[in-house]
Amino acid sequence: MTVLKDTPSSEQRPAVQVRPVRDRDDQEAVYAIREEVFHHEQHLTPYVRDDPDDAYSLTVLATVDDRPVGTGRVTLFGDEAQIAWVAVLKPYRGRGVGSAVMHYLIRWSQAQGARYVTLNAQTHALDFYRRLGFEPVGRRFYMGHIEHQVMVLDLRAQPERK
């Protein structure tokens, strides 16, 4: 999948590619991005390789000019698709990489027949997820030192994403 996002000046930026992890190198690139963002940048967790759900989830890698820059993961639990580990390297933020990752994961969830998508959003990113159609549910809570909010996207209320 290719997503090209125009800047306000219409200058063309390099295309963002999103693909499922396909080999060990891709998986290592995913761990490196998780480690950079969730461990070194956010001090949230050093345990970026130890999530047991990885074994039966779809993990994607986003690249710009073949450089790994973003990732995300989705896990199916019955009719719920749960998204986690969404991260984009700092120098590549604000150019559509995170949105491209999310659109890929949401489309895949729809294709699998999921009825809704859930995630634990860091509250600084609420607007990022709201723009994608997610709504907050319940009260905010802390995971580590970072405030989070459960968010839900009802796929039954969504047109099929192309």
Ligand X SMILES: CC(C)(COP(=O)(O)OP(=O)(O)OC[C@H]1O[C@@H](n2cnc3c(N)ncnc32)[C@H](O)[C@@H]1OP(=O)(O)O)[C@@H](O)C(=O)NCCC(=O)NCCS
Interface residues toward ligand X, by CB under 6 A = 37, 86-88, 93-99, 121-122, 124-125, 127-128, 131
How many angstroms separate the CA atoms of 93 and 116, rounded?
A: 26
To the nearest whole angstrom, how small is the minimum distance from the Cβ of residue 117 to ligand X?
Answer: 13
Cite the beta strand spans of 78-161 per DSSP E. Answer: 80-88, 116-122, 135-143, 146-154
CA angle 90, 122, 138 (to 5 degrees): 165
To the nearest whole angstrom, how small is the minimum distance from the Cβ of residue 135 to ligand X?
Answer: 15
To the nearest whole angstrom, how small is the minimum distance from the Cβ of residue 125 to ligand X?
Answer: 4
To the nearest whole angstrom, how small is the minimum distance from the Cβ of residue 100 to ligand X?
Answer: 7
How many angstroms separate the CA atoms of 113 and 39, rounded?
A: 34
Question: Which residue minimizes CB distance to ligand X?
Answer: 98
Pick from 140, 125, 106, 104: nearest CA to 37: 125
Specify the residue, 119 or 155, whose C-beta has the smaller distance to ligand X. 119
